[in-house]
Amino acid sequence: MKHSPKNIFVHGAITPTKIAESIQHHSAKTDIGAHSIFLGQVRADELEGGMVIAIDYTAYEQMALEKMQEIREDIFAKYTLTCAHVYHSLGEVKVGELCLFVFTSSKHRKIAIDACEEMVERIKKELPIWGKEILENNSTSWKNNI
C-alpha cells in the first residue's frame, strides 16, 4: 500500500483540541476497534544551569518528511492498520505542553499498540529533529535522546 507524503510539522505546541478533533474524525471509520495514542510532553528537567522552561525544536524538514514516509510505509507493511497520524512540533514548546502526537488505529488493540510504539521509537531515533532546551536563566542546552 502506497501512502503519499504528509507534512508532520506544526508550529509551536500541539494543542489538546487538535488531539480531540483528530479522535473525533475517526468516528466515521467504523471498522476501527482500537486506537493507540502517544503524546510527548516537554519535561521540566533540572540541569546545571537551572530548570528547563521550554524546548526549541528545529528540523531538516525535507529529510525528516522523506524518512517519515519510509517509516510509515514500513509500519503499514508490517501491521494491519486502518490509519496512522504523526505530528511533531517546531519552534518553542513550553514545559507541560505537547510536542509529539502519534496516533494509530486498527481493528484490534495489539496491532494499534505495537505499531504506535514502533513508530514512536523510530521517530525519536531516525528523524533529523533537534531540541534545544531553554533554561530559566536563558542559557541553552542541546537535548540528548536516551
Q: Is there binding between residue 58 and other proteins (CB under 8 A)?
A: yes
**Cβ pair 5, 69 in contact under 8 A:** yes
Alpha helices in the chain, H assignment, sequence order: 16-25, 61-78, 109-126
Determine the Cα–Cα distance for residues 138 and 75; give it in Å rounded to an integer: 40
Does 94 contact other proteins by CB under 8 A? no
Single residue of 54, 71, 100, 115 touching other proteins by CB under 8 A: 100
Residue closer to other proteins by CB (options 85, 88) is: 88
Q: Which of 57, 79, 87, 103 binds other proteins (CB under 8 A)?
A: 57
| Among 44, 73, 4, CA closest to 136 | 44
Task: Give the interface with other proteins as residue ranges (CB under 8 A).
Answer: 40, 57-60, 62-64, 66-67, 88, 99-100, 120, 123-132, 142-145
